[in-house]
A and B are shown apart, each in its own frame.
With several copies, the nearest count.
Chain A
Amino acid sequence: MVSIIPEITRESVVYLIKEGKRADGRAFDEYREVSLETGVINKAEGSAKVKLGNTQLVVGAKTQIAEPFSDTPKMGVLMTNSELLPMAAPNFEPGPPDENSVELSRVTDRCIREGKVVDLEKLCIIEGKKVWMIFLDIHVLDYDGNLQDAAVLGAVAALMNTKVPTATVENDEVILDHEKMIPLPFNEKALMCTFAKIGDELVLDPSLEEEEIMDARISIGMRADGSICAMQKGGKKPITRDEILKAVNIAKNKTEELRKYLE
């Protein structure tokens, strides 16, 4: 997964940023073109396809009835998984998820879980015995930077798109009515904004080229009311307190902007 960036690329990107410009002409706080399509996989109970510039991924939601975890007997189960498919980049390898893939799915999971996107308590059918279990699979098809924001947007959209059969309980048995499909109990459209720190600047929605030379990365998950539900700093260089607060500030408008694609 090591990718060698020519020093000259690094220098030119950094130089541009210093000049207030980005290689693709965007403003520092501008997303690339966003495209969101839902219901793209008929066999999934919910699905969404996201394009962020050339970055492309599909999120599929599969539901099944399962036992709840013993420490949360009244709550449905959400499992978030991601695969950085070898098709998506020349340096992605087949095999079990590496640390980048694990981080992507865990941060997505935290944003959705802590942002209370779905009301997991309403997914309980029989306390301690039967709950809905939702598998969210993030399938990365084309990698051109900023998977994190695309993954959260796709995950929220797929959950909004998901329908399950009505479940009723008779004599301790669960009866599913596939004629009456109902949407998941939906709470919040928590979304995530990611910035790359390059030199002294923060740039939103880093492209692959920017990610490869960035100093640090900060992702901010926000609810519609502007409260924070998740954050993750990445990268091998530090970031300052003031940069973090600045990123939080920008994220308010930018998650709002992304949220419009969910309408």
Chain B
Amino acid sequence: MIKITVESDLSTGTETSARADGRAFNELRPLKISAGVLERADGSAYLEMGGNKVLVAVYGPRELHIRHMMQPDKAVLRCRYNMAPFSVDDRKRPGPDRRSVEISKITSEALTPAVFLEKFPRSTIDVFIEVLEAEGGTRCAGITAASVALADAGIPMRDIVVACAAGKSNGQVVMDLSEAEDKEGEADLPIAMMPRTGEITLLQMDGHLTGEEFERAIDLAVEGCMKISEEQKKAIKERYGD
């Protein structure tokens, strides 16, 4: 079980001023989520977090035409994470690169545990994540928005998966690294989780953390997830009422 009452354990009251954008060590960037923003898609969501702008569309459950991918007893959940050419400082060439192939794979693995795929044998649920503007943490933003889009599409789920990173910047373990903090920082630890059970569905890390720092970082990322989870619920409620 995850304890969400980590804040008081970690906060020493002095770290808050150390971040370039003035945030407290456990403060998220400004966050906005809306559900149901596209006409054609079965479900959709739009998310802004700091300078990130992410749009997600969900199609399905629908027939899967690629036979060798078909599962006789359940649906396949496929993700495509894509960055718009104009989303980054130097124009990105269109089409998948190795980074987006990896993120697509782990995003699919992050969402899969929450979806009742066994209800839709031989079919596919397709999640298209478009990063319209990137400012650090787009994979987490994509997963968070994708869950809302899946809910908007009426896909039955065990839980609304949510994602947030923690990391180390300027010697300090902090929540939700900005692009600048990620580039200069010592470590980045994005996670995704199912808030009800606290189970973790995505975890990556790169950088330099001691065992103790890692433990603080993971707890901080979980804390971030729990906060973002509230915003997801609001967005879904706003769309459908209670």
Contact = CB atoms under 8 A, between A and B. Distances in A.
Interface of A: 2, 41-44, 47, 54, 56, 58, 60-62, 64, 81, 83, 85-90, 94, 96-97, 99-100, 102-103, 105-106, 110, 113-114, 135, 137, 139, 141-144, 218, 223, 226-241, 244-245, 248-249, 252
A238 B201 contact: yes
Interface residues of B, number: 69
Contacts of A223: 208
Contacts of B98: 97, 102, 105-106
Contact of A85 (B89, B109, B130, B218): B130
Closest 10 CB pairs of A and B: A60-B86, A238-B199, A87-B57, A231-B205, A54-B39, A87-B128, A233-B203, A62-B91, A44-B86, A99-B105
Given A90-B62, A142-B39, A231 B132 contact: no
A43, A62, A142, A227 pick with most chain B CB within 10 angstroms: A43
B35 interface: no
Nearest to A208: B40
B41 interface: yes
B31 to A, nearest CB: 17
A230 B102 CA distance: 15
Judged by DSSP, the binding face of A is: mixed
A139 B40 contact: no
Interface of B: 2, 38-41, 44, 51, 53, 55-57, 59, 62, 68-69, 71, 80, 82, 84-91, 94-96, 98-99, 101-102, 104-106, 109, 112-113, 126, 128, 130, 132-135, 189, 193-194, 197-211, 214-215, 218-219, 222
B132 A236 contact: no
A47 B86 contact: yes
A113 B112 CA distance: 30
A110 B206 contact: yes
Contacts of A44: 86-87, 133
27 contacts: A2-B69, A41-B53, A41-B84, A43-B89, A47-B86, A62-B86, A81-B94, A88-B38, A88-B57, A102-B98, A103-B102, A106-B98, A113-B206, A114-B206, A135-B86, A143-B40, A228-B210, A228-B214, A232-B203, A233-B203, A233-B204, A235-B109, A236-B112, A238-B193, A238-B201, A239-B203, A248-B214
